[in-house]
Amino acid sequence: MSRKSERLVNLTIALLATRRYLTKNEIFRTIEGYEGNDESKERMFERDKDDLRSLGIEIEVGGFDPIFNDEAGYRIKPENYALDLGEISGSDIALLSLAASAWNGQALNAIAHSALLKLKSIGIDSDIDSIPTLAPRMASASSELVNVVEAITTKSAITFEYMAQDLSQQKRTIHPYALASRDGHWYFAGLDVDKNAIRTFRLDRVQGEIVLGKKMDVFVIPTGFDLFSHLDETVSQKIATVDVRKDKAFALRKQALSIIDKGEWDQISIKYSDQTTFLDSLLWHLDDVLVIEPLELRDSIIDVLRTMVVVHGKK
């Protein structure tokens, strides 16, 4: 990551996580990369704001007290955080999905925590949970993910053994069109050569190695191919009702089908398919979420919490 990119990441994280507006002086003191004299820092900051704005990230300007003419401050409201990627192809989506997985293990471990610790050191409250979807949590991908990405980008066929739902193993030859993650699992879809039909596969059900064909450009990815529409057809989903604390659990809010204001809490409805993975995402938010229904999901999360108390003891 270049110094400029690292500075932009630091700036975005700090402005997302802060609970109040940050002045330029506070930004320059806490964000790595703002160097030189005051004029130089000013120019860098103005360029950074333009760069973030071009990505669709809106920086809000405000003061500490509306009555007095205080120094202007800056922040990014989580609900306004968005990236405008414009027109992107199926291979672009595959590469971005792979990058998102890598981001989870890199950016928030070092860069974000460094920025937030510096804010805390000068007395500014911040909250890592205010960062909405900057670091998606997903199941660890196998090394075969790279082969699927390469097959999509080079338009090469892949061959592999796949475990079907009845636990039988079948050899499949696929022209892969797209790759995506849902509910913590990686899926890829494409044309099943033998069946001459579109099929969707879950990566962790692939048995052994995914073998890449030697020829490139052997197929064309259909324009506008939507993997998620095929997932909806092949993956059975349930709907959960969950109460989430105000201004918390943005990763869940982003997936919400509906949101009802209940004062201190909001009630959201959200689709899920894999209950174990969904439980993990709920537990990640600790006491900022409360499962209402279905009862099966509510009972499961209570069982997990009871087990945690037994294993770790009550403190």
For the segment 274-293, the average pLDDT, to the nearest whole number, is: 82
For the segment 239-259, the average pLDDT, to the nearest whole number, is: 88
- Hey, is 215 helix, strand or coil? coil
- Partnered with residue 260 across adjacent β-strands are 267
Integer Cα distance of 266 and 258 in angstroms: 10
Alpha helices for the chain (secondary structure H): 3-17, 24-30, 38-54, 90-107, 113-121, 144-154, 227-234, 250-254, 275-283, 295-312
Answer yes or no: is pLDDT of 146 > 70.
yes
Query: Cα 147 to the chain's mean position, in Å?
Result: 22
CA distances from 213 to 95, 99, 149, 219 (A): 19, 24, 13, 12
Structure tokens of 276?
Answer: 């174990």
Answer yes or no: is pLDDT of 182 > 90.
no
Answer yes or no: is pLDDT of 284 > 60.
yes
Q: Pick the more confident residue, 86 or 269.
A: 269
Integer Cα distance of 142 and 109 in angstroms: 21
pLDDT range class, residue 255, cuts 50, 70, 90:
confident
For the segment 266-277, the average pLDDT, to the nearest whole number, is: 82
pLDDT digits (tens, 9 = 90+) for 230-248: 666 555 578 899 999 998 8
Q: CB of 145 within 8 A of CB of 100?
A: no
Integer Cα distance of 47 and 55 in angstroms: 13
Q: Pick the more confident residue, 175 or 6.
A: 175
Integer Cα distance of 41 and 43 in angstroms: 5
| Residue 171 pLDDT | 92
pLDDT range class, residue 172, cuts 50, 70, 90:
very high
Integer Cα distance of 111 and 103 in angstroms: 11
Percentage of the chain with pLDDT > 70?
Answer: 67
Among the residue ranges 88-102, 141-155, 224-238, the one predicted with the least confidence is: 88-102
CA distances from 95 to 89, 149, 228 (A): 10, 7, 16
Choose from 139-148, 231-240, 260-269 the range with maximum mean pLDDT.
260-269
DSSP summary character for residue 217: S
Structure tokens of 54?
Answer: 């071009």
Backbone torsions φ then ψ of 17, nearest 5 degrees: -85, -20
